[in-house]
Amino acid sequence: MSSHTTHTSLAERFASLAPHVNANACLVHRGRALTADLVIVVGTARFLLRIHQGEVVEVTQRFALFHPCALFVQGTAKAWERLWEKVPPPGWHDLFALHKRGEMVIEGDTRLLFSHLQYLKDVLEMPRHVPADA
């Protein structure tokens, strides 16, 4: 698979995140206190992820370059690809492990991040639980 194809399929997997998150009632309930805009970079694809009371209300690549966001998470294509494997290898299994490896950057409101850490990790790892061809 070419690098371009990999980046495209990773971006497509992330773009289809909303219905999978919103179908998980326990996950939405866990995030019920979170309303925020996040910028997520999957390889070279930039996304605005809008969350309102735990529901993903929008995942879009069409947004202003300097759109304000509470959190900015940028990972290499390899980081997202490994994180979303059904059983990721050690060191590739978690946002902070990827950050430690230098494969991911996490910036922004750390209070928000740590207040909603498990919810955010579960949302960003959701493509792991959805078949790549779904």
- 16-17-23-27 Cα dihedral, nearest 10 degrees: 180
Output the pLDDT for position 131: 76
Residue 4 or residue 110, greater confidence: 110
Residue 4 has pLDDT above 70, yes or no: no
What domains can be seen in the chain, in order of their start residue?
A: 10-75+105-128 (3.30.1050.10)
Q: pLDDT tens digit string along 88-104?
A: 999 999 999 999 999 99
pTM of the model: 0.91
Residue labelled with tokens 């902070």 = 96
The tokens describing 86, both together, are 């059904």
Residue labelled with tokens 């390899």 = 78
Q: pLDDT tens digit string along 9-66?
A: 999 999 999 999 999 999 999 999 999 999 999 999 999 999 999 999 999 999 998 9
Cβ density class 99-115: b for 16+ within 10 Å, e for less: eeeebbebeeeeeebee
